[in-house]
């Protein structure tokens, strides 16, 4: 009888504990640090934007947003890692035009689908690109570069953040429209490419403007032209390449994505923190000083934007002939 009572008591206790666990509220998100994967090397514009935004999101979410650089394969290694991560909001991606619009057309065996494998959070910024030269390079304008390159085909090289990157394709589009032959030298990220251009190892670079602007202002680089259709306010004296090559236009962007299947309430929390971070005056100043154009979209708007970017860039990639196994 006593044993039966003891068994019943234990069973009752276990049931009570289980009921209490079911009725207890779930831990508030986030209750531990969040990893923001930047799929490129440190020092580039994507890394710059990520660190500015992550610092403010850390304050707003009251949990550390840790920036982790995981470069390689044009951003696809980092993007794949997020696509395969647990959809719990603790691993998110700083995506770019490369990860979500170019790589699907470039890579024959891409391990993620840019639409199906991600939950859009928010489009943070659009980013102009710029064609720069080491100060010792003889050409000081787009016109002079074209003239020089036509006189000596394949003599001069330009650096980019990697094969098939938006910066590489910006350079290839320039070559095609200008009718010149420049040698492309790919790097594993904008940062390493920038180091060699500053050192004079490579004369030219197509870069995201945020990571080059201070070097331009400091005279360590010469800006031949920005890749947007119009001049940018931060560098009003630098012409748009389109002023010499009408119709030329390229740019990059940065957006936050979570793995597909992330609960809507977590996506909302990340979205709200990201958009609120963009409203902070210090964040706004840092981003605009770096020439990034602040957006702050809804998840739905980012989803539609991604599809349009894929439609836009796929034929450009095919026309360039770039293909990566």
CATH of region 129-243:
3.40.190.10
Average pLDDT over residues 206-216: 91
Q: Which residues contact 11 (CB under 8 A, 6 or more apart)?
A: none
Q: pLDDT category, 20, cuts 50, 70, 90?
A: very low
**Long-range CB contacts for residues 44-47, cutoff 8 Å, separation at least 24:** 44/161, 44/189, 44/190, 44/191, 44/194, 44/208, 44/211, 45/127, 45/190, 45/207, 45/208, 45/209, 45/210, 45/211, 45/252, 45/254, 45/290, 45/292, 46/94, 46/96, 46/208, 46/252, 46/254, 47/191
Q: What is the pLDDT of residue 180?
A: 97
Q: Please give the CATH topology (third level) of the domain spanning 34-127+251-320.
A: D-Maltodextrin-Binding Protein; domain 2 (3.40.190)
The answer to whether 34-127+251-320 and 129-243 have equal CATH topology is: yes
Spatial distance between the Cα atoms of 80 and 117, rounded to a whole number of angstroms: 9
Give me the helix-helix angle, 190-198 and 209-217, nearest 10°: 20
Mean confidence (pLDDT) of the chain: 90
Model-level pTM? 0.77
- Quick check: 94 and 36 in contact, CB under 8 A? yes
Count of beta carbons in the 10 Å neighbourhood of residue 22: 7
Q: Which residue has the higher pLDDT, 23 or 322?
A: 322
Q: What is the pLDDT of residue 24?
A: 38
Residue ranges covered by each domain of the chain: 34-127+251-320, 129-243
Q: What are phi and psi of 273, to 5 degrees?
A: -70, -40
**pLDDT tens digits along 64-106:** 999 999 998 889 999 999 999 999 999 999 999 999 999 999 9
């Amino acid at each position: 009888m006593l044993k039966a009572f003891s068994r019943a008591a234990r069973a009752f206790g276990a049931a009570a504990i289980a009921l209490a666990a079911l009725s207890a509220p779930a831990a508030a998100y986030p209750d531990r640090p969040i990893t923001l994967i930047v799929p490129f090397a440190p020092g580039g514009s994507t890394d710059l934007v990520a660190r500015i935004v992550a610092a403010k999101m850390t304050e707003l979410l009251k949990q550390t947003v840790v920036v982790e650089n995981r470069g390689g394969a044009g951003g696809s290694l980092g993007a794949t890692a997020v696509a395969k991560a647990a959809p719990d909001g603790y691993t998110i991606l700083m995506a770019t035009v490369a990860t979500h619009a170019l790589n699907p057309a470039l890579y024959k065996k891409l391990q993620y689908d840019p639409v199906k494998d991600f939950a859009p959070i928010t489009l943070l910024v659009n980013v102009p690109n710029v064609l720069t030269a080491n100060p010792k390079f003889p050409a000081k304008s787009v016109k002079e570069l074209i003239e020089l390159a036509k006189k000596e085909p394949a003599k001069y090289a330009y650096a980019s953040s990697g094969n098939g990157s938006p910066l590489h394709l910006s350079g290839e589009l320039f070559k095609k429209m200008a009718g010149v032959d420049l040698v492309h030298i790919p790097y594993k990220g904008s940062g390493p490419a920038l180091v060699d251009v500053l050192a004079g190892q490579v004369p030219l670079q197509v870069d995201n403007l945020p990571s080059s602007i201070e070097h331009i202002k400091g005279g360590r680089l010469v800006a031949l032209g920005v890749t947007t259709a119009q001049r940018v306010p931060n560098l009003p004296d630098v012409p748009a390449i389109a002023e010499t090559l009408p119709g030329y236009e390229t740019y990059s962007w940065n957006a936050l994505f979570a793995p597909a299947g992330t609960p809507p309430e977590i996506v909302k929390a990340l979205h709200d923190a990201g958009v609120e971070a963009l409203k902070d005056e210090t964040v706004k100043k840092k981003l605009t000083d770096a020439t990034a154009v602040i957006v702050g979209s809804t998840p739905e708007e980012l989803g539609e934007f991604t599809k349009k970017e894929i439609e836009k860039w796929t034929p450009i990639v095919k026309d360039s002939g770039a293909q990566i196994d």
